[in-house]
Amino acid sequence: MLSTSVDTAVRGDENIRCNQLSQYRSRVPRDVEGEEVEEEAPENVADEEPEPSEDEESDPRILDTEIEEQVEVTNVNPAISQCPVENGVLLSQWGAISAGPVITGVAAGLSPQTVTTRELLALSREAGRSQRQQQNFNVDNRWASTLCGDLSEVALRQGPAAGREIAVGAPGTFNSTVIPRWYFLRQREHFEMTDAEIRGGLDGLILATNVVEFRNRFNAIKLSQVLDMYYSHRG
């Protein structure tokens, strides 16, 4: 859960799986109080219709089993999947969230540190190789472990090739809103900072700047309680 990665390998089910991504709808709407409302999606409240045959497209509400059980892998295809799988993503009321930046943000907030770029460059400098003098900046570990880490990856990977045309964000969809297990991206490039990582980075930074205050108010507070307060209406 703490590791964020994108599996771009071709699975063999793209013709079915990728075409279904736009059809998924939330099956459990919530009211303003956060309570579940027993209500079906609009496409399911119409008059009675004949049951679909086996040849028709399967209902997206059916819970998915493991992808490995559905697809027989016969060879390794180096091509990129039409809807890659992003790992380490959780579903919240506000959308998909990458859990890694949230947890690292809490950890960094409990042990805040500030180092200079000169110190960081000195650690990576090769022996006997001189480097030109550069302006010195302070690096806050709360920013570096949340938003700035992914933004740096975007700059390093896209900057030299794209120039000013740098893209941030990659939308995706879970296989099911009832039991979300697989998170599929809707694009085949620019995975350095996905939508889930943006939300997770923002949440992690907010928690990092406030977690010390939480600990001072409640000495025995647990990580699960911090996350529950932040992601629920009880917080």
Residue with tokens 């979300």: 180
Q: What is the pLDDT of residues 211-220, one digit of tens each?
A: 999 989 888 8
Tokens encoding 99: 């859990």
d(CA 107, CA 114): 14
Euclidean distance between CA atoms 132 and 124, whole angstroms: 14
Token pair in block for residue 69? 């059980």
What is the model's pLDDT at position 126?
Answer: 60
β-pairing verdict for 95-98 and 114-116 = unpaired
Alpha helices by DSSP H, listed for 21-94, are 67-70
Backbone conformation region of residue 128, classed left if phi is above 0, alpha if psi is from -120 to 50, else beta: left
How far is CA 167 from each of CA 14, 154, 164, rounded to the nearest angstrom?
Answer: 24, 8, 9
pLDDT per residue as tens digits for the range 177-210: 888 889 999 988 888 899 999 999 999 999 999 9
Walk along the chain (235 residues) and give the pLDDT tens digit of each residue.
567 889 988 888 888 888 777 555 444 445 545 454 444 444 443 444 445 454 444 444 444 444 444 444 434 445 889 899 999 999 998 899 999 999 999 999 999 999 988 888 787 666 555 566 667 888 999 999 999 988 988 988 888 876 678 889 999 999 888 888 899 999 888 888 999 999 999 999 999 999 999 989 888 889 999 999 899 887 6
